[in-house]
Structure 1
Amino acid sequence: VPDAASAASDILGVRVDRLSRRDALARASAFLDDSRCRHVVTANALLLLDAERNPELKRACADADLVVADSVGLVWAARAHRQSAVVRYPGIDFARDLCSAAARAGKSVFLLGAREGVAAAAAEFLQRSVPGLKLAGKHDGFFDENEESVAREIAASGASVVLVALGMPKQELWIYRWKNRLPGGVAVGVGGSFDVWAGRVPRAPRWMQTSGLEWLFRAAWEPSRWGRIARLPGFVWKVLRAPR
């Protein structure tokens, strides 16, 4: 597995690992047997904009054990700076692939986040679609983020994979603050993946996924996303102005 420092791009001050999907999954899978919790960030353009103005979030990204490019915007940004190619690995695909790796290794998964009932429905989908997957537990996203009780519950479950669906950047900050209390393995923020797995929100057609337009499909289904999407031109401007 390649060393993070030798295979990474710097995009607006955030390290994004330059790995194929296969190598990114191999690195994350190797974390499953770790004695401490490893943080994987699935980054997009909006997260990088948030990190610019939130020092704690920037530290969380810098301290992460793996940062994969969730969006086509990061692929474009690396190209714009004539850096080696960054491979897009959507968080929803990465998380499901990680669950498959966990199932093969006999490890269990904990689902944290989303509205009441959504995590349970998402867990049912994963158990149907990933043969042999063990569910360590689930908890909705309605809890006091400053309380230790949820981290204790996850630690007691013995999960090797913790999928956190609290939305960006809340999920990255929660993992960063509590990872020392979580069980050994991997914790990763998965955004709206639970809603898709639970059947509450459809996934974009395959052609939109491969064209990097999945964000547009999600925005059409969830108009509340448009406020954040309106910030994307600012990302383009910052990338073009950044030193090369």
Structure 2
Amino acid sequence: MTEARILGVRVDCLGMGATLGRIEQFVDEGGTHLVATVNPEFVMRAQRDREFARVLESAGLCLPDGMGVVWAARRQGCALRETVSGVDLIEPLAAMCARRGFRLFLLGAAPGVAGELAATLRLAHPTLEVASHSGGPEPAQEAETLKLIHEHGSQVLLVAFGAPAQELWIDRLRNRLGVAVAIGVAGRIWCPGAGAVDRPAPQPARGRRGDRSGWGLRLPDRPCSARPRLDAKGRPRMALPTPPPAVAHPTYGRASDLRSQGSQFSQVRSRAVLSIVVPCFNEEQRLPRTIEQIERYLDARNTPYELILVDDGSADGTRLIMDAAAERHSAVRVEGLPHNRGKGRALAVGVEAAKGDEVLITDADLSTPIEELEKLQAALRDGAGVAIGSRALRASRVEISQPVYRVLMGKAFNLIVQAVLLPGIWDTQCGFKLFRADVAHSVFAGLATDGFGFDPEVLYRARKQGVKIAEVPVVWRNSAPTKVSPVRSSLDMLKHVIRLRLRG
């Protein structure tokens, strides 16, 4: 398989070595070839930006930049073992240019940064012919930029204007650039003389050892990740190649390791007061709106939080949406299961990763609005260890109801649960539950129920531990379609309830 299609965006099934070979071939062939590094943000932008989608489709190469993209491509049969980002390309590309005598041009970033990178590359590769210019994408600067590129006789051009500006700029001037290969490379900060920050470590293939950067740069004692991503003129700063990961054999690239590696993107920097865990299986349609609503509400409250999105082996674009959210917002974290295990297992993974003082679990469709959180938090302040949203109390408000058969089946199930396991609790299955952190970690550790029947198990375990459970009336709106099978899921949940009761 040579390429995959992720939500319509092409991704070429090439690792670093094959990519360098294709770029070398492009230079030998002539013409001007755009090389795009496709990350989750590219994929999502292409859904709403037809011009950007057209540019990506016209590219000579669309490289996999991000484990979310690699993951989605693998599920289509693409034999990818690593990501290939623009930043990761810089040093090996410079080495290739030095070996073949290709002339390299660095364009963009903050004033002076491209020049510093050029000087560093010359030290590493004395035969390299490299020039630089800190110009921007503005039309007024085009004449000067093109003049410098032509005078240098450049064959390979690296552009650091930030996406999508750099790709659109290359496409617009493709016939005037006079280079064989043009690549958009930047989107992160470089601390001159220290190292790259606010960017995940590169994901090399297993077995690649040592310092790939070739010049042994040192990270500062005080990282500068708090500096803005744009310079004073609004231009993204260029990112130099990142120092190697701390381990000699990184686990990226093995499906079995995706659970433990989680998101490649930046994680929450401050201690979270609240952790929100959202299990997701094939939720590409509903998840973007849910993420937006949660972020908007909690950002407005100005309370430190983390949003943990757990991919339960989705086969659609769910993982891409998660990774795009993690790239955009520092509060978002991503956990993943290599294949579908069920809602209970996905929540157990998310709760295990949670760092907050309180842990909220909620469904990906956000059937209970996030604004109902305050009611559950009030119950915890009143001494409860678990507060569960309920549709069955007099003050509950079901604004959009389920089909009648599901309502009746749900009531029958809850009556059975009351009779054999949890007397006094009228609605165990509402997906909106808040736990004190110690309780959450205790009741989800060693969870036996992988599927939809996990709720009675965690509540039963909490009650056995003497934890107070508060049932709180909430607003609830049915969101179709549902992944709960009326017959199969109900029988499975009933089986687990009986098993719990027999075990005592």
**What TM-score, normalized to structure 1?**
0.78
Q: 1:216 aligns with which of 260, 263, 266?
A: 266
State which drifts further: 110-119 or 94-103: 94-103
Identify the match of residue 317 of structure 2 among 219, 232, 239.
239
Q: Offset of 1:190 from its aligned partner?
A: 0.5
> Aligned partners of 1:89 and 1:127: how far apart in 2?
23
Between the aligned partners of 1:198 and 1:155, the Cα distance in structure 2 is: 29
Task: Indicate conservation of the 8 Å contact 1:14/1:61, yes or no.
Answer: yes
2:10 counterpart of 1:15: yes
1:10–1:16 CA contact under 8 A, matched in 2: yes
C-alpha deviation, 1:198, in angstroms: 5.6
Which residue number corresponds to residue 139 of structure 1?
A: 133
What is the identity, as a one-letter code, of the residue corresponding to 1:86?
L
Tell me: CA distance 1:186–1:199, structure 2 relative to 1, closer, same or farther (3 Å). farther
Amino acid at match of 1:139: H
Paired residues in the alignment total 224
Tell me, in whole angstroms, the C-alpha distance in 2 between the residues paired with 1:9 and 1:197: 37
CA deviations 1:127-158 (Å, max 9, x no partner) are: 112341111x3111445146531234323321
Distance of aligned partners of 1:67 and 1:210 in 2 relative to their CA distance in 1, 3 Å threshold? farther
Q: What secondary structure is seen at the aligned counterpart in 1 of 2:265?
A: helix
The equivalent position to 1:103 in structure 2, one of 98, 103, 109, is 98
Counterpart contact for 1:34–1:184, Cα < 8 Å: no
C-alpha change, 1:184 and 1:113, in structure 2 (3 Å) is closer
| Residue in 2 that maps onto 1:39 | 34
Give the 4+ runs in structure 1 shifted more than 3 A.
145-148, 196-205, 207-215, 230-233, 235-238
Q: Which residue of 2 aligns with 1:82?
A: 76
User: Does the aligned pair in 1 maintain the 2:137–2:166 contact within 8 Å?
Assistant: no
How big is the shift at 1:113?
0.6
Matched residue, 1:148? 142
Alignment gaps of 5+ in structure 2: 198-241, 253-262, 270-290, 293-307, 321-504
CA deviation after TM superposition for structure 1 residue 180, in Å: 1.0
- The answer to whether the aligner puts 1:28 opposite 2:23 as a matched pair is yes
Q: 1:206 aligns with which of 211, 234, 245?
A: 245
RMSD of aligned residue pairs (Cα, Å) = 3.2
**SS, match of residue 44 in structure 2:** helix
Range with bigger deviation, 39-48 or 201-210 = 201-210
Aligned residue in 1 for 2:178: 183
Contact kept in structure 2, 1:44 and 1:70, CA below 8 Å: yes
SS in structure 2 at match of 1:86: coil
Give the TM-score, by structure 2 length. 0.40
Q: Report the CA distance shift for 1:163/1:106 in structure 2 as closer, same or farther (over 3 A).
A: same
Which protein has greater RCO, CA pairs closer than 8 Å, 6+ apart?
A: 1
> What is the rounded CA distance, in whole Å, between the counterparts of 1:240 and 1:192 in structure 2?
23
Matched, 1:71 2:110: no
Match of 1:225 in 2: none
Pick the aligned partner of 1:172 from 167, 175, 198: 167
Letter of the 1:32 counterpart? V
Task: Give the secondary-structure state (helix, strand or coil) at the position aligned to 2:266.
Answer: helix
* Counterpart-to-counterpart distance in 1, 2:16 and 2:150: 28
* Partner AA of 1:138 in structure 2: S
Question: 2-side partners of 1:72 and 1:241: how far apart?
Answer: 9
Q: Which residue of 1 aligns with 2:52?
A: 57
- Structure 1 unaligned residues grouped into runs of 5+: 1-5, 221-229
Change (3 A) 1:147 1:32: same
CA 1:196–1:237: 2 relative to 1, 3 Å: farther
Alpha-carbon distance in 2 for matches of 1:18, 1:141: 33
Native 8 Å contact 1:125 1:197 kept in 2: no
What amino acid is the match of 1:183?
G
State the 1:91 CA deviation: 2.0
